[in-house]
Amino acid sequence: MDKAKPLPSLLVQRYHGWRATSYMENKAWYRRLADEGQRPKTMIISCCDSRVHVTGIFGADQGEFFIHRNIANLVPPYLPDGQQHGTSAALEYAVTALKVAHVVVMGHSACGGVQGCLDMCSGRAPELEEKSSFVGRWMDLLRPGYERVKDLDGYDAQRAALEREAVLVSLENLMTFPFVASQVDAENLSLHGLWHDIGNGTVEQFLPAQNAFRPI
Amino acid sequence: MDKAKPLPSLLVQRYHGWRATSYMENKAWYRRLADEGQRPKTMIISCCDSRVHVTGIFGADQGEFFIHRNIANLVPPYLPDGQQHGTSAALEYAVTALKVAHVVVMGHSACGGVQGCLDMCSGRAPELEEKSSFVGRWMDLLRPGYERVKDLDGYDAQRAALEREAVLVSLENLMTFPFVASQVDAENLSLHGLWHDIGNGTVEQFLPAQNAFRPI
Amino acid sequence: MDKAKPLPSLLVQRYHGWRATSYMENKAWYRRLADEGQRPKTMIISCCDSRVHVTGIFGADQGEFFIHRNIANLVPPYLPDGQQHGTSAALEYAVTALKVAHVVVMGHSACGGVQGCLDMCSGRAPELEEKSSFVGRWMDLLRPGYERVKDLDGYDAQRAALEREAVLVSLENLMTFPFVASQVDAENLSLHGLWHDIGNGTVEQFLPAQNAFRPI
Amino acid sequence: MDKAKPLPSLLVQRYHGWRATSYMENKAWYRRLADEGQRPKTMIISCCDSRVHVTGIFGADQGEFFIHRNIANLVPPYLPDGQQHGTSAALEYAVTALKVAHVVVMGHSACGGVQGCLDMCSGRAPELEEKSSFVGRWMDLLRPGYERVKDLDGYDAQRAALEREAVLVSLENLMTFPFVASQVDAENLSLHGLWHDIGNGTVEQFLPAQNAFRPI
């Protein structure tokens, strides 16, 4: 791999700052985590977006959250076809090997992936329909959500609703995995749906009894 | 989605701590990021492992790192077959839409995914060979790395080498994406390979000139 | 301008070191910042003192901090009299054009400007009272601070207090600028006051609730 | 000053990283600089722009560069009128108290202040002509430079030339200060003019013999 470059020196400097402080203060704990393995209580599925770091929002300690981040925090339906499914692999590992007690899906405002889906499904972004568009094909996962918001009045309303649908579709797809459904039914695992507003700093959670997202 | 549960109160409580401090301290910046969109300089591809949070190690500010996390920080080869490829979608969005300047792949010690690959390829974990194993199929991506370490002496040596191969295979696969290769060739994008030791808190980077990982 | 001389070769040499490393490592990002413009989150007002570089202390990435440095990190009161006010111009540009989210004023120990002010106000440096003394007239800005410390016991105590007053007077003057006050009131901008001890490497911040500087 | 807020925690964290590394490694030197005072060899006058940090470009050690940063790196002409002149105060302190051996003025590409001056002088930005515009009044200092570039062909050419004029006008103004001129004539002080291209990472210096800027 002859193309790799040295890490930018600013990141090297910041790493040394981290090691001299956070690491040194918790050295014994890091060593123990290394020796004994992780035992996370919660898996979080959130977006790659650089403005939304769940480690900060939920004050992640080392060893606490198993975090998968992809475009638009989507979970595909269960499809054991022998192909590569990175999200499904992360989920399988978290639930069957690590036996997490919670899976949290967190969406957010101003999500570029969700906007791409809306534009694609409404005919505004035909380039995303192409077979070669990885973002387009990935966002196909959210088409069922689009069907439920397409009659709302106006682009902004559709977009806001579709961001929440990205969470709901993922929760629905989670339950198609046998190893998830069985653990949920056995009350060994609970699922949670959140939506985060970047600008306001608020978080809403989905409450089935109200069939709505409500501030936490 | 009637299975969703309210968020555990500990997380609600921590969220409010974050909002009262980090969010309130930077409210104006969050609003601006929400209004104007993100402009991250760097994409980081790291593992879901709960012991390895790059946001801490590299002191991530909001808007700075676009982060994809999957099992064993793997990048698949370019395959525009119209199927869902979450990692490829994240990469495409980061490089072509966000135009990040750096892609960093960071592996780590005691990686459960890498261990699974080693066990599978060496016959120790036949269940991972099954078609229905999402983790097994995902770790197929690292089989080329296994071929390069299988003759090393001893399980621990093979495992340590395979963790670094997970980074090298990903860097190689990155270059199979036309939009990555062209930006690398145009010097608009640089690739970096890291490996992190959880217990020691050290980070090594791959240096092509030495064909080896060296401490930063 | 026939007096200009070539840059000393040591600086030329160091520049080439920077270009071969830091610049080359981040070339794509520099190009992008050049093309798209800066979007700094924070304005820092600090002293010209050669021992206090906030770029190091706070690990400044390119594009992150808009930095004004003058003698004793002073901000004059709002005075739109059509004359040249370099600090006010920098502030206006940062707040109204760049829309920074934070303004940080950082003072420091052993500040020559502050000592000059103390000596001038206490009659020890009559030459600074002369109309032609640029330093003296600049340090007039800190006279309100001197009034608050002049009854303290001893020169060293007065000096240490006056260094912190340089921060407080500047924070007060910041609020006399309508474009600052309105953004602060709208919670789009927050102000911060720091004092740095060069020898100990410590930093204190002003906490209004305690009406005192406290270590960070 | 009841409006001051605590420093954002990310900056607190970075500060602790700096203290645990850079400061601790050089503790003895910091203490000595604190006790014995600074003895900088060079004063640098550069722009506040967040993309241009001379501490990085010229590898500033603690105690080495006395740095004044203002909008568009401008030096006003000598005007001992008893008013506040922050740049003149910094210059006076550097040359007469610290006795620096070099004064370097460094301009740069894509300078917002220079662009504002060009727009103002060419009638494109009448709001900058208002008495209340601090940026406009500050950029009045560059009007003599505009007169020398206004007949160039095209906006971009004028702008590029005006960025270099900001350096030349400042060098000319430097020589109007008696304490500068006398030290330059006595060969105790030398002046240098630089212009930095952010995107290319290049630096040019003004060479009187060629009456032009040339790469270093």
Q: Average pLDDT, whole number, for chain C?
A: 96
Task: Give the C-alpha separation, D57 to D44, whole Å.
Answer: 12
Comparing CA positions, the residue from C79, C84, C68 lying closest to residue D140 is C84
Tokens matching residue B77:
């080869």
Which sign does the torsion angle of CA C52, C55, C58, C63 carry? positive
Locate the chain C residue with the closest alpha carbon to D104: C7
**Nearest-by-Cβ selection for B99 from C32, C187, C189:** C32
Locate the chain C residue with the closest alpha carbon to D34: C199
Q: What is the DSSP letter of D202?
A: E
What pLDDT, in 10s, does the model give residues A119-143? 999 999 999 999 999 999 999 999 9
User: In this structure, are residues C104 and C43 in contact, taking their beta carbons and an 8 Å threshold?
Assistant: yes
Percent of chain C with pLDDT over 90: 96
Q: Does A178 touch chain C (CB under 8 A)?
A: no
B194: Cα separation from own chain's centroid: 10
Task: Give the C-alpha separation, D197 to D106, whole Å.
Answer: 11
Q: What are phi and psi of C213, to 5 degrees?
A: -90, 135
Task: Give the C-alpha separation, A109 to A141, whole Å.
Answer: 18
Average pLDDT of the residues in A98-118: 98
Predicted local confidence at residue C137, as pLDDT:
98
Provide the pairing of β-strand C190-197 with C102-108.
parallel
Q: Does C26 touch chain A (CB under 8 A)?
A: yes
CATH assignment of D38-215, among 3.40.190.10, 3.30.360.10, 3.40.1050.10, 3.30.379.10: 3.40.1050.10
Beta-bridge partners for D67:
D44
Q: Do C59 and A13 touch (CB under 8 A)?
A: yes
Amino acid making up residue D3: K
Q: What are phi and psi of D213, to 5 degrees?
A: -90, 135
Per-window interface: C 55-114 vs D, CB < 8 A: 55-60, 62-71, 74, 76, 80-94, 97, 102, 104, 109-110, 112-113
C-beta neighbour count of B215 within 10 angstroms: 9
Tokens matching residue D157:
């050419």
ipTM higher than the 0.90 cut: yes
pLDDT over 90 (residue C3): no
User: In this structure, are residues D67 and C56 in contact, taking their beta carbons and an 8 Å threshold?
Assistant: no
Predicted local confidence at residue D117, as pLDDT:
98
Q: Does A8 touch chain C (CB under 8 A)?
A: yes
**Which residues have C-beta within 8 Å of that of residue A153, sequence separation ≥ 6?**
none
Q: Do A137 and B85 touch (CB under 8 A)?
A: yes
Distance between the two ends of chain D, CA-based, in angstroms? Answer: 47
Q: Does C10 touch chain D (CB under 8 A)?
A: no
Structure confidence at residue A112 as a pLDDT band (50, 70, 90):
very high
- Domain extents for chain B? 1-37, 38-215
Task: Give the C-alpha separation, C158 to B94, whole Å.
Answer: 54
Predicted local confidence at residue A94, as pLDDT:
98
For residue A7, the distance in angstroms to the closest alpha carbon of chain C comes to: 7
Predicted local confidence at residue A2, as pLDDT:
83
Locate the chain A residue with the closest alpha carbon to C188: A199
Provide the pairing of β-strand B202-207 with B212-215.
antiparallel
Task: Give the C-alpha separation, B69 to B49, whole Å.
Answer: 9
Amino acid making up residue C48: C
Predicted local confidence at residue D156, as pLDDT:
96
Tokens 């000096």 found at: C159
Locate the chain C residue with the closest alpha carbon to B95: C28
Q: Does C188 touch chain B (CB under 8 A)?
A: yes
Locate the chain D residue with the closest alpha carbon to C49: D66
Tokens matching residue A145:
């959500």
**Which residues have C-beta within 8 Å of that of residue D162, sequence separation ≥ 6?**
D114, D117, D118, D142, D145, D146, D149
Q: What are phi and psi of A211, to 5 degrees?
A: 50, 45
Q: What are phi and psi of B207, to 5 degrees?
A: -115, 110
For residue B128, the distance in angstroms to the closest alpha carbon of chain D comes to: 42
Give the least confident one: A12-21, C169-178, D188-197.
A12-21
For residue B216, the distance in angstroms to the closest alpha carbon of chain D comes to: 14
Predicted local confidence at residue A1, as pLDDT:
72
Stretches where chain B sits below pLDDT 50 are none
Task: Give the C-alpha separation, A168 to A152, whole Å.
Answer: 17
**Nearest-by-Cβ selection for D2 from C37, C60, C208:** C208
Amino acid making up residue A127: E
Beta-bridge partners for C70:
C47
Predicted local confidence at residue D2, as pLDDT:
84
Give the least confident one: A68-77, A165-174, C23-32, C189-198.
C23-32
Task: Give the C-alpha separation, A61 to A70, whole Å.
Answer: 21
Give the C-alpha distances (Å, rounded to integers) separating B34 from A109, B37, D50.
Answer: 8, 6, 21
Provide the pairing of β-strand D190-197 with D102-108.
parallel
Predicted local confidence at residue C2, as pLDDT:
83
Comparing CA positions, the residue from C48, A207, B139 lying closest to residue D90 is C48
pLDDT over 80 (residue D1): no
Amino acid making up residue A150: K
Give one DSSP letter per residue of C106-169, joined into a string: EEETT-HHHHHHHHHHTTS-GGGGSTT-HHHHHHGGGHHHHHHHTTSSSHHHHHHHHHHHHHHH
Beta-bridge partners for A215:
A204
Q: Do C101 and B26 touch (CB under 8 A)?
A: yes
**Nearest-by-Cβ selection for B25 from D5, D13, D17:** D5
**Nearest-by-Cβ selection for D14 from B22, B25, B59:** B59
What pLDDT, in 10s, does the model give residues A35-46? 999 999 999 999
Task: Give the C-alpha separation, B166 to B146, whole Å.
Answer: 9
Provide the pairing of β-strand A202-207 with A212-215.
antiparallel
Tokens 């801490």 found at: B56
Comparing CA positions, the residue from A155, C168, C5, C151 lying closest to residue D105 is C5
What pLDDT, in 10s, does the model give residues D56-114? 999 988 999 999 999 999 999 999 999 999 999 999 999 999 999 999 999 999 999 99
User: In this structure, are residues A26 and A3 in contact, taking their beta carbons and an 8 Å threshold?
Assistant: no
| C-alpha torsion B154→B155→B160→B163, nearest 10 | 140
Helix spans in chain B (H): 9-18, 24-25, 27-36, 54-57, 86-92, 112-121, 134-139, 143-149, 155-174, 178-185
**Nearest-by-Cβ selection for C22 from A5, A9, A17:** A9
User: In this structure, are residues B189 and B94 in contact, taking their beta carbons and an 8 Å threshold?
Assistant: no
- Biggest CA-to-CA distance, chain B: 56
Predicted local confidence at residue C178, as pLDDT:
98
Q: What are phi and psi of D192, to 5 degrees?
A: -140, 140
Task: Give the C-alpha separation, D60 to C22, whole Å.
Answer: 14
Q: Which residues on A lie below 8 Å from D20 (Cβ)?
A: 17, 20-21, 24
Tokens matching residue A152:
């709302």
Beta-bridge partners for C144:
none
Q: Does A3 touch chain C (CB under 8 A)?
A: no
Q: Which residues on C lie below 8 Å from D168 (Cβ)?
A: 1
C119: Cα separation from own chain's centroid: 21
Predicted local confidence at residue B2, as pLDDT:
83
Task: Give the C-alpha separation, A74 to A121, whole Å.
Answer: 17
Q: Which residues on D lie below 8 Å from C180 (Cβ)?
A: none
Predicted local confidence at residue B3, as pLDDT:
87
Locate the chain A residue with the closest alpha carbon to D56: A10
Structure confidence at residue C179 as a pLDDT band (50, 70, 90):
very high
| C-alpha torsion D37→D41→D47→D49, nearest 10 | -70
**Which residues have C-beta within 8 Å of that of residue C162, sequence separation ≥ 6?**
C114, C117, C118, C142, C145, C146, C149
Q: What is the DSSP letter of D78?
A: P
Q: Which helix (H) or strand (E) holds C21?
A: none
